[in-house]
Amino acid sequence: METAYKKYKSQVVRKRIFFFVTAVLLVFFAIVGISFGAADLDPERIFAIFYNEGDELTWQIIWNIRLPRVLSAILAGMALSVAGAAMQSILRNPLGSPFTLGISNAAAFGAAVAVVIFGAGTMHSSISNAVLINNPYLITICAFLSSMAATMVILIVARIRGASPETMILTGIMTGSLFMAGTTALQFFADDIEIAAIVFWSFGDLGRAGWREFWVMVAVVIPSLIFFIYNRWNYNSLDAGDETAQSLGVNVQRVRIFGMLVATLSTAIAVSFFGIIAFVGLVVPHIVRFVIGPDERYLIPSAALFGGLFLLISDTIARTIISPIVLPVGILTSFIGAPLFLILLVRRKRRAQW
Amino acid sequence: MVKIKIENMSFAYRKVPVLKNLDIKIRAGQLTAIIGPNGSGKSTLLKCINGILPVKKGEILVDEKSTVSFTRRHLATIMAYVPQQETQVFSGTVYETILMGRKPYIGWSQKPEDYEIINQVMNDLDLNSISSEFLNELSGGQRQRVLIGRALAQQPEILLLDEPTANLDLKHQLEVMQILKDLSHKGITVILAIHDLNMAAKYCNELIMLDKGKTFATGDRSILDENNIKSLYEVEVKILGYGNDNIIIPLKAIK
């Protein structure tokens, strides 16, 4: 009689191990991320700071450049992958992510408006950056407003037509292409510097992270994480279909609409600050699901940590691979994520059990 | 004792009326079959009883209380629903699926008694050997047992099932029907929509015949006579006695 329970518990233990291993790796790679960069700091110099024996330069590099960047990478990775995990369940679609719903297109449009109409981008010459965005706040605000406008369109349609996954996905794709057309139209009328600024913005780049960005992200991402964890049973029920979820006592429409609102909000924050970081929201949840299964109670927290880890490692590689040139992390996430995903997809077919 | 009372209830999908002024009483602890041709409103009736579809006209009373007065969550502790087809996107294990049936009871975290109930359900439905298999890798018969198990984990007083024997082979049809019969003996009010009239005649002690959203006849299996079936299904049938059972043999469709 107890064997089924024991088997279940041993599976739970495996899921917990995955969570803790990811947590340990996250701490480890955070230290690695702080150590590596254009100026190499060995861990000794970093630890010296904790004992008040460090030098001023090390302190400056860590405090002003590396630490906000590392922490922002973790937080943005968390935001994107948890939003993706929730969306896949809310929309009952493995391709679900805030990007599928056109949030990135909308954000890019907002950035383009800021650059072309409000003149937020200028030419600047330096070794690493050919283009400098001289008014990042304006771009961030425009990108954010624009992505929330896209979300509102989807929510309004969902309100009128009923929040079915099909309605929401199709509306999202339509709004996305509308915003993309808007961006293209703006680019057509923009000059070469402005186009360069728009394109440059759209590369997801964590180099834009400072403390202020970090704290804004904390204020949005942490509550949304708590929100998703609070809803974990609701999302589990949604995985079984709307009718089953309703018969289990879930208010499907409400869970879907609020889940989508929170998911797009935290994604929009990350995208508005850092540009488009592809792939994390879509693929990290799948990778975690391959390893620990679809139970949202474990999937959501693990996807959060794994997403943070994934983006942190990608960014550390992006900063160091052809140092001193810093690659935008958005390029790296796909280069690392796609092969990893394919390997897991192929291997999964051969193993029925995890 | 009447468990569910449906009073003057109508339902329409947008403007298309599906159920029209139904008045039905369903007794507690019985195995009740809802039968009728395709489109007669069987599934819709089940979904209305469960509150999956909102009833705008008329009332559904459980133990004399209107279901509208219950919260969704409270309703989920009184009735459980097994859908006809479950489209799983991300499929968990059998154990996780049954654990999900505890959803209406679980606050922040599950309690020891939740696991006791799951163990009970797993034993009753003989699911222990497949507890860590994935739901989407099971055969139809096993999957149906698991979904019934999830519904039972809700500890419902009323169990609603939409075509529980569809897509099952003969042995598993009998197995599922026997499980439902046993549950009704334990005092659970079991209501199922079913196409197979022989299964309905063999296992169910109450029948509700629906015709285009209206009650055509209600009563015990004796309402399954040649005339009723003929005018409801537009099919000529022959009914033969075999032991205690009646066997319905379809002859031909009436043009």
pLDDT in tens, A60-69: 778 888 889 9
Set of chain B residues whose Cβ sits within 8 Å of the Cβ of A232: none
Q: Do B103 and A233 touch (CB under 8 A)?
A: yes
Interface test with B, best of A13, A93, A248 (most B CBs within 10 A): A248
Mean confidence (pLDDT) of chain B: 91
Q: Are residues B36 and B148 in the same domain?
A: yes
d(CA A138, CA A140): 5
Chain A interface, Cβ < 8 Å to B: 1-5, 7-8, 11, 88-89, 92-94, 233, 236-237, 239-241, 243-244, 246-251, 289, 293-295, 352-353
Q: Are residues B152 and B169 in the same domain?
A: yes
Q: How far apart are CA A205 and CA A132, in angstroms?
A: 13
Residues B238 and B219 in one domain: no
> Which residue in the set B77, B80, B100 is minimally distant from A237, CB to CB?
B100
Q: Are residues B68 and B26 in the same domain?
A: yes
H, E, C per residue of chain A: CCHHHHHHHHHHHHHHHHHHHHHHHHHHHHHHHHHCCCCCCCHHHHHHHHCCCCCHHHHHHHHHHHHHHHHHHHHHHHHHHHHHHHHHHHCCCCCCCCCCCCHHHHHHHHHHHHHHCCCCEEECCCCCCCEEECCHHHHHHHHHHHHHHHHHHHHHHHHHHCCCHHHHHHHHHHHHHHHHHHHHHHHHHCCHHHHHHHHHHHECCHHHCCHHHHHHHHHHHHHHHHHHHHCHHHHHHHHCCHHHHHHCCCCHHHHHHHHHHHHHHHHHHHHHHHCECCCHHHHHHHHHHHHHCCCHHHHHHHHHHHHHHHHHHHHHHHHHCECCECCCHHHHHHHHHHHHHHHHHHHHHHCCCC
**Number of domains making up chain A:** 1
Q: Is the same domain home to B148 and B254? A: no
Residues B213 and B254 in one domain: no
* Amino acid type, A104: S
Helix (H, G, I), strand (E, B) or coil at B239: strand
pLDDT value at residue A337: 82
pLDDT the model gives residue A341? 80
Given an 8 Å threshold on Cβ–Cβ distance, is B52 in contact with A247? yes
Domain range enclosing A126: 3-350
Same domain, B249 and B206: no
Answer whether residue B93 shows pLDDT above 60. yes
Q: Which domain holds residue B247?
A: 227-255
B36 and B145 fall within a common domain = yes
My answer on whether B172 and B241 are in the same domain is no
- Residue B46: name the closest of B252, B217, B194, B175 by CA: B194
d(Cα A260, Cα A117) in Å, to the nearest integer? 30
pLDDT at position A184: 92
Question: Any idea what the CATH number is for the domain that residue A208 is in?
Answer: 1.10.3470.10
pLDDT digits (tens, 9 = 90+) for B208-220: 999 999 999 999 9
Residues B132 and B252 in one domain: no
Chain B CB contacts of A92 under 8 Å are 87, 89
Q: What is the pLDDT of residues B124-153, one digit of tens each?
A: 898 999 998 988 888 888 999 999 999 999
Q: How many domains does chain B have?
A: 2
- CB contact under 8 Å between A5 and B118, yes or no, is yes
Same domain, yes or no, for B254 and B139?
A: no
pLDDT tens across B34-67, in order? 999 998 999 999 999 999 998 889 999 999 999 9
> A237 to chain B: which residues are within 8 Å by CB?
100, 103
CATH code of residue B172: 3.40.50.300
**pLDDT 10s per residue in chain A (354 long)?**
468 888 899 889 999 999 999 999 999 999 888 887 766 667 677 677 666 666 777 777 788 888 899 999 999 999 999 999 999 998 888 888 888 888 888 988 998 898 888 876 654 444 445 455 566 678 888 889 999 999 899 889 988 888 788 888 899 999 999 999 999 999 898 888 888 888 888 888 888 778 888 898 999 999 999 999 999 999 999 988 889 999 999 999 899 989 988 998 899 888 888 888 878 998 899 999 988 988 999 999 999 999 999 999 999 998 888 877 888 888 888 888 888 888 877 876 544 433
